[in-house]
Amino acid sequence: MPDTASLYALLSVPRAFDDAALRSAYRRLSLHWHPDKNGGCSAAPAVFAEVARAYKVLSTPELRDVYDRFGDAGLQRLQDGDPSVAKDWVPPEEALRRHGLSAEKLQKQWRSLDDFVTNIFAWLTGL
């Protein structure tokens, strides 16, 4: 059974592969591990499914980027809807800092709903 520690190792492709090499490796392994051709091997369906998953991840640029940065845990976080695995995600604190704001400054400025309404009204009339 192939080593499943890395999707690259599973498909036997280098990290800097081209599409033709990926397709060729996938075809070779999927034909070898197809459950219909390996009726006597109880591991064939699991290996075949893992080969298909590896191909899907490595052939999709977004999934490959997440896998390269975070591994299988990153793919799980992406599937669970975690926005922090996206390439262009910025933490809220960093977004505030980029605009010259801090959490303390916002808390002082927006202490209550009355302050919020007053500040929004002041901002709208200042346009």
Residues 25-62: tens digit of each pLDDT: 999 999 999 988 877 788 889 999 999 999 999 999 99
Number of domains in the chain: 2
55 and 102, same domain (yes or no): no
Q: Report residue 119 as tokens.
A: 């500040």
Q: Is 82 left (phi over 0), alpha (psi -120 to 50) or beta?
A: beta
pTM: 0.67
68 and 100, same domain (yes or no): no
23 and 84, same domain (yes or no): yes
101 and 49, same domain (yes or no): no
Residue 127 confidence (pLDDT) above 90:
no
83 and 95, same domain (yes or no): no
Q: What is the pLDDT of residue 109?
A: 64
8 and 50, same domain (yes or no): yes
Phi, psi (deg, nearest 5) at residue 112: -145, 175
82 and 103, same domain (yes or no): no
Q: Report residue 96 as tokens.
A: 């505030």
The parent domain of residue 36 ranges over: 1-89
